[in-house]
Amino acid sequence: MFLPVNKTEMQKRGWQQADFVLVTGDAYVDHPSFGTAIISRVLEAYGYKVAVLAQPDWKSADSFKTFGKPRLGFLINSGNVDSMVNHFSVFKHKRKKDVYSPGGRTGRRPDRAVIVYSNRAREAYKDVPIIIGGLEASLRRLGHYDYWEDKVRRSILMDSRADILVYGMGEKAVVEIAEALDSGIDVGDICWIRGTCVKSKEADIQEGDIVLPDFESIKNSKEDYCKSFALQYRSNDAVLGRRLIERYDEHSYIVQNSPQPPLEREELDHIYSLGYERTWHPSYEKEGGVPAIEEVKYSVTANRGCFGGCTFCAITYHQGREVRSRSKESIIGEIEGFTKEKDFKGYVHDIGGPTANFRNPSCHKQKEQGMCQNKDCLFPKPCSMLEVDHSEYMKVLEAARAVEGVKKVFIRSGIRYDYMLTDGKNDFLSTLCSHHVSGILKVAPEHVSDNVLRNMHKPSKKVFDEFCGKYKAVNKKLGKKQYMIPYFISSHPGSTLDDAVELALYLKKTGFVPDQVQDFYPTPGTLATCMYYAERDPFSKKPVYVAKTIEEKRLQRALLHFNKPENRELVKKALKSVGREELINVLVPGKYRR
């Protein structure tokens, strides 16, 4: 049964009052790929009454009174995706579709949804606790660079007027908050819970706390901004993490408590076993449903966290670097459930997560000693302590293939090929090519210039070339005609036009035609965004070249799609600007060269 989305549904359950009203910028989809579904079901499992207020009218406070005054509080998120990313392309153009809204229609949520919703909730009921969370809040928990306004903004906890911010994967923290509120503790006194940020009128500096550069400093000094980011990055670990304190003025501080430990296997298994309806609320049927479900409905989230360390990815800041995974039994149980659904055609779309072929912590010391603060597990090359083993994942995939009613199991999450190449014990590549590729494997080298790859913390081009050679050889041995489509990022910090030309020549030489080129999008919480704003590496302090003008971004992107006729003038302009006119005859289609 879906959780109530209006007062009538709430009353049918016999409720006079909800304990929590969960406000979200997405349509209500009760599927474990949606954070709203997980948090609401976890609270329900602990006996709390949760009503879901999905995509409310934010132009007044009336919608926030739909269920009446919640007994314990409002829980607010923007949805699965940051509302600004949801609304705008990297070129700041309005998007024409919102896959998290009914029928894919736009305009169903405001910009900066967490701030708007929180202020409306406060207007509706001044004395009701407000707890914000989800990706938008998590990545803006402290002072941060905002690409859309091109300035450093203060913690979203300040602008939202909320009481508590939950960062990271919030299941443990939100239950602890619920229990504290339910026991009668005033929300202003709930200041100790790990994985949360709170406001304070006093610094209250304790032994071991880390005092960050104050907000005025990071707003006015890129050096201080980098210092603050580096301190946050190194403290984002459940073992080594400390309380962080960011000052705003004499009587205004944000205190970030240390991170929650990652959920262990039994806890993940429990969360993904809760009674999800696994589809959108029936009220959306007349509008055609919610498009976002299509890609994930028959996919399985098998793990959380990522030790890959890509600088452009926010997973490190949100989920953390320690990997945890679900048991084989839990995963197979979910897939067996697929086969009972009338719409299931026998195809499991994915068994993965942030990185599909990560199942366990990268080395045995992490649970006791935490993640290394000053080095990555895979960059610049795999660490000597790295424990590489695909055997457990291969057993999961084998069991999934054997489920009655399953025709094919795909892997669509990213695969770290450098990690895979390090495995000398198991032939995972052969398993992948034999059973889990549908003719085309999508991989993400992201670039080929070693200059750019260093700033991405990605393996060198030589490693990608080695993988390409082995992929081709394995498919030849299997007698399969299977191909590869690489994903690339243009205009990433460190990438010059010369680097973009190098990538274009590589594509020309190899015959790769990129299926998708993503312009680097500076979103809060990533190391690459810090580089973009500060034009330096916050750890080495070395300067980093950044393509900031729309014109250069267009030129770099055009070079990656040099074969498209509509890009010919941009490609010629790019080549001329770097003195490489001799390449016009190489990269510009023949009949368009003049």
Q: Are 299 and 412 in contact (CB under 8 A)?
A: yes
Question: What are the pLDDT digits (tens) for 106-133?
Answer: 999 999 999 999 999 999 999 999 999 9
How does residue 215 score in pLDDT terms, banded at 50, 70 and 90?
Answer: very high
How does residue 47 score in pLDDT terms, banded at 50, 70 and 90?
Answer: very high
pLDDT at 515 exceeding the cut of 70: no
pLDDT at 563: 87
pLDDT at 592 exceeding the cut of 60: no
Strand runs (DSSP E) across 177-243, as ranges?
A: 196-200, 210-211
How does residue 512 score in pLDDT terms, banded at 50, 70 and 90?
Answer: confident
pLDDT at 590 exceeding the cut of 70: no
pLDDT at 514 exceeding the cut of 80: no
Secondary structure percentages of the chain, helix, strand, coil, to 5: 40, 15, 50
pLDDT at 594 exceeding the cut of 60: no
Question: Comparing C-alpha atoms, which of 19, 47, 23, 48 is closest to residue 35?
Answer: 23
Residues whose CB falls within 8 Å of the CB of residue 499, separated by 6 or more in sequence, listed in order: 447, 449, 451, 452
pLDDT at 204: 87
Question: What are the pLDDT digits (tens) for 280-291?
Answer: 999 999 999 999
Compute the Cα dihedral for 495, 496, 502, 504 and give only its sign.
Answer: positive
Q: Are 79 and 36 in contact (CB under 8 A)?
A: yes
Helix (H) or strand (E) holding 336: helix 328-338
**Buried (b) or exposed (e) across 154-177, using 16+ Cβ within 10 A?**
bbbbbbbebbbbbbbbbbbbbbbb
**What's the rounded Cα separation, in Å, for the pair 4 and 18?**
10
Strand runs (DSSP E) across 344-427, as ranges?
A: 347-348, 350-352, 408-409
Q: Which residue has the tokens 């360390």?
A: 309
Domains and CATH numbers, the chain: 7-256 (3.40.50.2300), 298-437 (3.30.750.210), 439-594 (3.30.750.200)
pTM, to two decimals: 0.95
Mean pLDDT (the chain, rounded): 95
